[in-house]
Amino acid sequence: MDGGWRYLGVVGRRLRWTIAGAVASGLAWQGAAIAAPLLIRHAVDAGVVQGHRSALWWACGGLVALGAVEAAGGASRHYFAIRNRALADAYVRDGIFRRALDLDAHYHDRVGAGELISRASNDAELVARVFDSIGHTIGYVLTLAGASAVLVVIDWRLAVAVLAPLPLVSIGFGRYSARYASRTKINQEELGELTALVEETISGIRVVKGLGAGAALSARFRRKSDDVVRTALEVANVDAVFLPALEALPLVGILVVLWYGGHRVLSGEITVGTFALFNFYLALLVNPLRTIGQRVSTVQRAVAAARRVVDVLSAEPEVVESAQARPFPESAAVRFEDVRFSYGGERPILDGFSLQIPAGTSLALVGATGSGKSTAAALLARFYDPVRGRVTIGGVDVRDLKLDELRRSVGLVFEETFLFGDTVSGNLGFGAPGAGDDAIQHAARLAGADEFVERLPEGYETMLGERGFSLSGGQRQRIAIARAILADPQVLILDDATSAVDATKEQEIRAALAEVMAGRTTLVIAHRPATIALADRVAVVDGGRVVEEGTHAELLARSSRYRALLALATAEAVA
Amino acid sequence: MREAIGPILRPHRPLIALAGAAMVGATAVSLAAPLLVKIAIDRGIGHHDVHVIDVIALVYVVLVLVRPVLERAIVLCSARAGERFLGDLRVAAYDKLQALSLPFFEQTKAGVLVSRLTADVQTLTTFTRLVLVEVVGSVLLFLVSIAILIALSPLLSLVMLVSVPLLVWSSLRYGKRSRPAFLALRDRVADTMTSLQEGLAGVRVVQSFGRETDRYASYRARSRAQVSAWRRISLVNIGFFPMIAFAQSLALAAVLVVGGYLHRNGRVSVGTIVAFALYLISLFDPIARLGDWFSEFQSGRAALTKIALLLETPATVAGGSTPVPAEGALVAENVTFAYGGGAPAVREVSLSIDAGEHLALVGATGAGKSTLAKLLVRGYDPVEGRVAFAGVDLRDAPLDELRRRIVFVPQEGHLFSGTIADNIRLAGPGAPDEQVRDALRAIGALERFERLPAGLATDVRSRGVRLSSGERQLVSIARVALADPAVIVLDEATSSLDPQNEAAVEHALGVLARGRTVITIAHRLSTAERADRVAVLEHGRLVEIASHAELVAQGDRYARLWASWQAGLS
């Protein structure tokens, strides 16, 4: 069976009790609706035409009672529908988020956050709609079946004449469903391209504005948008064939009742009440047929969405904890042994990369963009696994260490700082929940963040992030450094973590950084000579391997390559 | 909202009118049935007249044939009007993005903008395709049914009123309770989304601190809160929609009872009673159906409002109409600029850059180099003072003309999906291949790209993962060569390339600079050394401006910078 359908089945099993509730209430709701015309017939025949007062009263009392049942059934149908929708939505979303947190960097490099968010919101919503409509749809199916059955019992000849076109519907249904699915898919692909163009434009807006390329892009967007409109209309064309046919069915039935039924009343074979009854049932069928027609698209879209959800859920992380994982070692000596690594089969970023950082010492990696510095740092925190060779801490291959202990013991500060929508202290304490205010302020002081934090409107309680106070790049980096310091990792990696801190400020926090690095195994990736000089030793990386090693002073003296790299890298010096 | 959406909707009015007419027709057809039933009962069955029944059936055959045609017209017209309207709306929103200036993009999250043009428009698709048709159709059915009921029998219509108090009471209650419930839901949804977005966008940080479980727990709590918000909505709904079904039965029962008595007095016919009962179904069904579509209707309206807000955002930088000469000096006169009411980022800067001159902007991070550069290309307008090119205030120049004269090149070479040639052609839409090649040849990069398997037709893929950062910079330089502007404002890349690429990029920039005014935000003092003049900024002020040699000789700020730069190299 198709993965999308199977996933809908999984969600369905999960919600079986509320679905059962939805089905039961859907049946009660439409069951009452089906019984009502029978009472109307009684009221017309016995009450109105023959003038039996008590029959009239009984029938009408019954109608009110049925109305109450219908209302109660409808109420619980509404309740269960929304309940199912909310639960299915949450279930899908939760599943995706949980999975995404466990997936490794390989996956997240390939599938961006935007894509995952769209899975967890849009696709979850599409899946949830199917569960929203279950009670409703089942109720309507009952109406179709029940009304047909009642009609057959009351007057099978008229019923057969009225219901003859129904089998045609089911044939049409299958064809409609298939055509709808294929055309919707094309439309979705066009929409995907359109979305990509919007994203590119917004992320590259400086280029667009700088070049005045707006007109060219607008023209391209217009073409893409036209494609979307065209393919959407092709979907509508399928609707335009099928939906009118569905609507026409009850009308054909009414026609049959009017003519054939009318003749039969005149010949005395059926009563006026029966005649009215047939009309009532056909009126009852209009909505169900229409709604069931619309469900085809709900289900088709849900299946497509479920397939996309399954894509995420079935992704397996390549970086997994080994069965005999060991605790983090006492000594944090780091070794890279002849490491080779490439991102997804491309040419290797690291090849024959060997490096040693004795426990408690610091080392700076220096090299041009793309030389593999950050990759080496990511391998140490085990965001990826090497293709060949190994990375060890305290003599133990990082692949044999408990993953969460490794991650907590290796603190990694990236150039791109990500802050959460939380207070400053919440952000600082992210890696060390339960840290006291003193510890938080101490870490902030070491990272040179205390001064500006205290000047913020609400100091350490100021909200940061998307909807909060926006900090400059340098301030954000200092928060990130403080966050890492507070977690007190045994191995600290600063991956270009001070690039946006201006040189004067960096000068000021150098002493503090030196304090943080003292006695801690530290890997620093930096461009500014002053920062590099903080490290005990320097390794020059080129073409995916370490080509030179020594202290800053030694390399400056002996290596022209090193001097050239620093010359390129020296950005704004002391101003 | 009307001003923004109205003009976009206008061209589609004929189709909308057509769909509306078809809808009225279709409603009339569905409402004709009970009337025909009534005639069949009273005239045909009552008078034992077979002829009447045959005539009615014949009339109905016509209706049965007309109805699918009308239904098809509704689907086709509403889909055409709807999809084309949405297409136009999307294009208008995109054009609006092109018209808005940099400050807007710096203040608005990219994700929000993307969702305006994609998710919100998508929500509107369901809205225009299904919801609108359903809602308008239902309202129409409801109104016409009422009219027919009154015409059919004013007396029975009065009887029907027994259900009115129940309906009024429950709708008032619903109106009062549903809005806060839906608003609360929107808030909970936003909470969940924020938590989700943060967790996913910051997944590296979460993983590097090993805090997956905490993150998931805090997200789960919000996800649960969203489920509870839905539950409150369901409770509100329970109080309303089922009441309609009950009110319907009440009305039906009342009509039958009273109808029965009236029939005995000969005041209504059996046919009227049956027809009346049938119309009651078409009266109440639409209300119930409205309930099914209500939340979709609300979210569609919300999406439309959000897009309208985007469309109504005033462009902070609008073009003028004074023609811009092809060449001239770029002059800043006493320019001051501050971001959104903060401290000025650029203060009282005056400088004049002659045609063909190369100027380097130097200073610490936050000294105002980038801001000044953006003012020079009219990314922002100064708060005080003015910037003029060839004597024309930038604010008076038509924007597209200005962009052709003065081009800004950001640090990173951003690539768009498509081929390398497409990417270069961004600077000159419709430029023939030969011109694109000339641009590449001029900067000495043609051979390098032609060596690729598919040459210039190589697909760069989204965000250009396959091109190296050196190659990306070359593409962005080739764009400028194709645009052939008089002035280039260049934000020098801070990150270093490998020596080969570095040399290629430097060569390309050198060629490009020839005969043009070039203003470089210099991150390396070697770049400043090569410029004709160097402008040193400090805390937003222009503190020194002269040639490299003069400034070094002066022995002031720049000289100190230069000395420490030199020291860093040795």
Structure-derived torsion over alpha carbons of residues A419, A420, A424, A428, reported in degrees to the nearest 10: -70
pLDDT in tens, B40-60: 888 888 888 888 888 888 888
Based on the fold, state whether residues B504 and B437 are members of the same structural domain: yes
Based on the fold, state whether residues B174 and B301 are members of the same structural domain: no
Residue B430 lies in a domain: yes
Specify the residue for token string 């509404």. Answer: A78
| Partner-chain contact A266 B53, CB within 8 Å | yes
Residue B454 lies in a domain: yes
Angle, alpha carbons B27-B32-B37 (nearest 5°): 145
* A·B CB contacts under 8 A: 489
CB A94 within 8 A of CB A120: no
Q: Which of A89, A243, A575 lies at the smallest CB-CB distance from B561?
A: A575
User: Which residue in chain A is spatially nearest to B190 when comparing CA positions?
Assistant: A121
Distance CA A3, CA A227 (A): 29
Give the pair of three-digit tokens for residue A480. 């990130």
Interface of A with B in 195-214 (CB under 8 A): 195-214
Q: Which pLDDT score, from 0 to 100, does residue A33 have? A: 83
Task: Count the Cβ atoms, other than its own, within 10 Å of residue A366.
Answer: 27
From B300's Cα to the closest Cα of chain A, the distance in A is 15
Based on the fold, state whether residues B217 and B347 are members of the same structural domain: no
pLDDT in tens, A167-188: 777 777 778 888 888 888 888 8
CB A444 within 8 A of CB A428: yes
pLDDT in tens, B451-479: 877 888 888 764 444 677 788 888 889 99
Q: Which pLDDT score, from 0 to 100, does residue B461 have? A: 64
Based on the fold, state whether residues B557 and B420 are members of the same structural domain: yes
Average pLDDT, integer, range B208-233: 88
Q: Which pLDDT score, from 0 to 100, does residue A571 have? A: 40
Q: Crossing angle, helix B270-312 and helix B132-152, to 10 degrees? A: 150
The amino acid at B3: E
Average pLDDT, integer, range B249-277: 86
Which residues of chain A does B486 touch, with a Cβ-Cβ cutoff of 8 Å?
none
Give the pair of three-digit tokens for residue B272. 């009227």
User: Which residue in chain A is spatially nearest to B68 when comparing CA positions?
Assistant: A244
Longest dimension (CA), chain A: 118
Helices and strands: H and E segment counts in chain A:
23, 10
**What CATH number does the domain containing B343 carry?**
3.40.50.300
Of the segments A207-221, A242-256, A549-563, which one has the largest average pLDDT value? A549-563
Please give the share of chain B, as a percent, with pLDDT higher than 90.
Answer: 18
Residue among A398, A556, A427, A414 at smallest CA distance from A497? A414
Based on the fold, state whether residues B97 and B198 are members of the same structural domain: no
Which residues of chain B does A73 touch, with a Cβ-Cβ cutoff of 8 Å?
242
| Partner-chain contact B57 A258, CB within 8 Å | yes
Interface of A with B in 268-287 (CB under 8 A): 272, 275-276, 279-280, 283-284, 286-287
Helix or strand (DSSP H, E) at B527: helix B525-530
Task: Give me the domain span that covers residue B92.
Answer: 1-153+297-315
Distance CA A230, CA A224 (A): 10
Based on the fold, state whether residues B129 and B200 are members of the same structural domain: no
| Partner-chain contact A94 B220, CB within 8 Å | yes
Residue B62 lies in a domain: yes
Residue A9: pLDDT above 50?
yes
Q: Which pLDDT score, from 0 to 100, does residue A1 have? A: 58
**What CATH number does the domain containing B304 carry?**
1.20.1560.10
Specify the residue for token string 């497509």. Answer: A304
More confident residue, B333 or A374: B333
Task: Please tell me if residue A443 touches chain B, with a CB cutoff of 8 Å.
Answer: no
pLDDT in tens, A198-246: 877 887 787 777 777 777 888 889 999 999 999 989 988 888 888 888 7
Task: Please tell me if residue B117 touches chain A, with a CB cutoff of 8 Å.
Answer: yes
Q: Which one of B315, B344, B376 terminates a domain?
A: B315
Q: Which pLDDT score, from 0 to 100, does residue B551 have? A: 92
Q: Which of A146-160, B430-444, B482-496 is predicted least confidently? A: B482-496
CB A495 within 8 A of CB A522: no
Based on the fold, state whether residues B402 and B544 are members of the same structural domain: yes
Q: Which pLDDT score, from 0 to 100, does residue A575 have? A: 36
Sorted by where each starts, the structural domains of chain A and their CATH numbers stand as: 3-313 (1.20.1560.10), 334-569 (3.40.50.300)
Band (pLDDT 50/70/90 cuts) for residue A379 is: very high
Residue among B518, B436, B428, B506 at smallest CA distance from B474? B506
Based on the fold, state whether residues B117 and B165 are members of the same structural domain: no
Distance CA B563, CA B47 (A): 116
Please give the share of chain A, as a percent, with pLDDT higher than 70.
Answer: 96
Helix or strand (DSSP H, E) at B305: helix B270-312
Note the ipTM here.
0.79
pLDDT in tens, A422-474: 889 988 988 888 888 999 999 998 888 888 888 888 889 988 865 556 677 77
Distance CA A175, CA A284 (A): 25
Which residues of chain A does B53 touch, with a Cβ-Cβ cutoff of 8 Å?
258-259, 262-263, 266
CB B283 within 8 A of CB B149: yes
Based on the fold, state whether residues B381 and B525 are members of the same structural domain: yes
CB A156 within 8 A of CB A103: no
Q: Which pLDDT score, from 0 to 100, does residue A345 have? A: 64
CB B123 within 8 A of CB B303: yes
More confident residue, A293 or A70: A70
Per DSSP, the residues of B324-339 read: PPSS--EEEEEEEEES
Residue B290 lies in a domain: no
Band (pLDDT 50/70/90 cuts) for residue B119 is: confident
CB B407 within 8 A of CB A211: yes
Overall number of domains in chain B: 3
Residue B276 lies in a domain: no
> How far is the first Cα of chain A from the last one, in angstroms, to the nearest whole number?
67
Average pLDDT, integer, range A361-385: 88
| Partner-chain contact B568 A570, CB within 8 Å | yes
Residue B44 lies in a domain: yes
Residue B292 lies in a domain: no
Average pLDDT, integer, range B176-190: 83
Average pLDDT, integer, range B79-85: 90
pLDDT in tens, B95-108: 888 888 777 777 77
Please give the share of chain B, as a percent, with pLDDT higher than 70.
Answer: 95
Residue B274 lies in a domain: no
Average pLDDT of chain A is 85
Residue B175: pLDDT above 90?
no
Based on the fold, state whether residues B99 and B190 are members of the same structural domain: no
Instruction: Report which DSSP code applies to B443.
Output: T
Q: Which of B83, B122, B282 lies at the smallest CB-CB distance from A229?
A: B83
Phi, psi values for residue B389, rounded to 5° = -120, 125
Band (pLDDT 50/70/90 cuts) for residue A364 is: very high
**Mutating which of B209, B293, B310, B537 best tests the A interface, going by the most A Cβ atoms within 10 A?**
B209
- B474 vs B405, B485, B504, B523, CA distance in Å? 21, 17, 8, 19
CB A197 within 8 A of CB A221: yes
Average pLDDT of chain B is 84
Based on the fold, state whether residues B161 and B148 are members of the same structural domain: no
Helix or strand (DSSP H, E) at A174: helix A166-203
Based on the fold, state whether residues B138 and B20 are members of the same structural domain: yes
Task: Please tell me if residue B48 touches chain A, with a CB cutoff of 8 Å.
Answer: yes
